[in-house]
């Protein structure tokens, strides 16, 4: 697991960041100015990439945060099973995978349709239909 580390003041909307060990996408960043005796602070609102849970935290601007490795890939749907699993084939290396899928995306899918899936630190999830 290779992580990139950046300063909190370098966070921008759309950046991915690890919050409490969970990969999240940054939705809003407010950076306060330095005070007479203090440092700048960053207030970050983020949403979990896999869980969808909103997280809000405040950290000093000079603190370092981890940026997770997110690999965006394309695949073809082979079969749609029960539960939240969908069987797909990676279009680059033709590997067959069982991938988690949200219900709202699963209702749009059909066999032989193409999807974009993300590999986030070893967890795979279907994000959208192409």
- Residues 14-37 have pLDDT tens digits of 999 999 889 999 999 999 888 777
- Residues 64-120 have pLDDT tens digits of 999 998 899 999 999 888 778 889 999 999 999 998 888 888 888 888 899 999 998
pLDDT band, very low/low/confident/very high, at 1 (cuts 50, 70, 90):
low
- Helical (H) or strand (E) element with 104: helix 103-106
Indicate if 83 and 44 belong to the same structural domain.
no
Indicate if 99 and 59 belong to the same structural domain.
no
Indicate if 16 and 56 belong to the same structural domain.
yes
Query: 78: left (phi > 0), else alpha (psi -120 to 50), else beta?
Result: alpha
Is the model's pLDDT at 56 over the cut of 70? yes
CB of 16 within 8 A of CB of 25?
A: yes
Indicate if 51 and 77 belong to the same structural domain.
no
């Amino acid at each position: 697991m290779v992580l990139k580390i950046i300063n909190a003041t370098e966070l921008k909307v759309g950046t991915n960041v690890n919050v409490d060990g969970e990969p999240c996408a940054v939705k809003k960043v407010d950076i306060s100015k330095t005070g007479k005796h203090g440092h700048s602070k960053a207030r970050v609102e983020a949403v979990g990439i896999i869980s969808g849970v909103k997280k809000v935290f405040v950290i000093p601007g000079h603190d370092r945060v981890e940026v997770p490795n997110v690999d965006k890939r394309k695949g073809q749907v082979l079969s749609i099973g029960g539960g939240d699993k969908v069987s797909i084939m990676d279009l680059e290396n033709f590997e067959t995978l069982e991938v988690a899928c949200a219900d709202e995306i699963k209702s749009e899918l059909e066999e032989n349709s193409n999807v974009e899936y993300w590999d986030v630190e070893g967890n795979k999830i279907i994000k959208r239909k192409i």
